[in-house]
Structures are given as C-alpha cells and as structure tokens.
Amino acid sequence: MVNATPDIGDQIEASEWLVPGPGLRDTPLAGIILTDAELDHTLGIARLREADQVEIVATPAVRHALTERLRLEEVLSPYTELVWKDLGQPVALGESLQVSAVPVSGKRPRYAPEGGPEDGWVSALRLSDGATVVYAPAVGTFPPALEKALAEADCVIIDGTFWDDEEPRRTGISSKTATQMGHVPIEVTAPMLAGLPGRCFYTHLNNTNPLLDPDAPQHRLLAGYGVEVAADGMVIDL
C-alpha cells in the first residue's frame, strides 16, 4: 500500500484485495511505501501495530523524520517491529514489481524543520511490473527526472490538491498560495499532462477544490486535456 493515512483501517476493510484471512490473523498487506513524511500520509502506520512486523519503504529523509522527530519506532517497539527498506535506490517488491523514487520537492513536514538529509523529502513513485505507473500525490516542482518519468509511464496518478494557485488564500485555509504550500496547481499541470502517452488521473484533492463537485465546469476543461479525476475504489487495468 502506498502511504498510510489515518483512515487506513477503513481503506483496508473497503478493499476486497486487502480483506484479512483466511486465517484469524492473516493479511495480504505486505507493507507500506511512503512518498513523504507528512502526517496525513504516515499516521496510519500506528494502526498496523498489531502485526508481527511492518515493512516500510521510504527514503532516508522520511525515515529520519519518522524515527528521530515523531519517535515512531520508539513508540511502536512494544507492539511491533518496523522493518525499513531504503527508497534511495530501486527496491524489488515480490517477484516482479520494482519501485523507485523520483525526487520532486525538498519540502519538509512542519514537525521536522531541520536535521536529517537535505534531499528525499517528497518523492514521486515509479512502479514497474511490465507496465509502469507514476504516482505523485504531492508535487511542488517539475524537475527533469519527473518529466522523463511521466513521459515514459503507462499511467500517471498525480497531485490535484488545488485547482489554481490562489485557491488556499481565496478560501481562507492558508495565507500561502498552492505553490508555496508545495502543490503545483491543476491549472498549470493539466496542459503539461495533455501531451503524455499514458492515462492521467488527478488525486489528493483538497476539500476546497471545485473538482469535488461533479457538475463543476472545471471537469469539462479537464476533459479537453484528456485528463481525469480518480474516484474512490477505482480500478485501473494496464
């Protein structure tokens, strides 16, 4: 599973592939891959504490934040063992799946303003198993490595937090723009995605995003670019 939100328990129960069993304590969930150390992507790890061990694939920067700042390993050690895999290099998962990190931002979580590695704080994930998916729920910049990964992907699932740059300030949720908060807005990225060969979906929408309204005119604009909004429970066959 990619990222561990606070509602990870509900997500597991809602997914037919992750339903526990057949044994009383069995689960098909092998571990967690993290794109960053933000609280909304990591607090769910604590809900997995009843496992014998939890495998976490993360960059050194993300591991530093979770262990040295949140003390997650110290808190969970009486319950379970955290087994870390370094996402600073490509990681093999299972027999054929490989995941690698594409750095997209140096934005640190607020609770870790200093210390630890300088790089690897926010990454897109390139997952390959014959077909290739790029998953990037938080994109603060578009470095060349990300552009290359998107151009080679069969499917792109990307940051759609805000529709336009002024949305956070206009709605009163922040004094910063979307870009200053570490999210390139859809108005900027949609034209960039239009020319890609793979299918493209937006995810990670904030509750201020007009795309949450199925009747919003922004949906027609996206359709013109050939880009879609990912839906809960969506299955994408490649």
- Per-residue pLDDT of 71-118, as tens digits, reads 999 999 999 999 999 998 999 998 889 999 999 999 999 999 999 999
pTM confidence score: 0.93
| Ranges 21-25, 43-47, 175-179: which has the least confidence | 21-25
- Per-residue pLDDT of 155-174, as tens digits, reads 999 999 999 999 999 999 99
Residue 30 has pLDDT above 90, yes or no: no
Complete DSSP assignment for the chain: -B---TTHHHHHHH-TTS---SSTT-----EEE-S---HHHHGGGGGGTTSSEEEEEE-HHHHHIIIIIS-HHHHHTTT-EEEEEETTS-EEETTTEEEEEEEEE-PPPTT--S-S-SS-SEEEEEEEESEEEEEES--S---HHHHHHHHH-SEEEEE-S-SSTTHHHHHTS-SS-TTTTT---HHHHHHHHHT-SSEEEEE---TT-GGGSTT-THHHHHHHHT-EE--TT-----
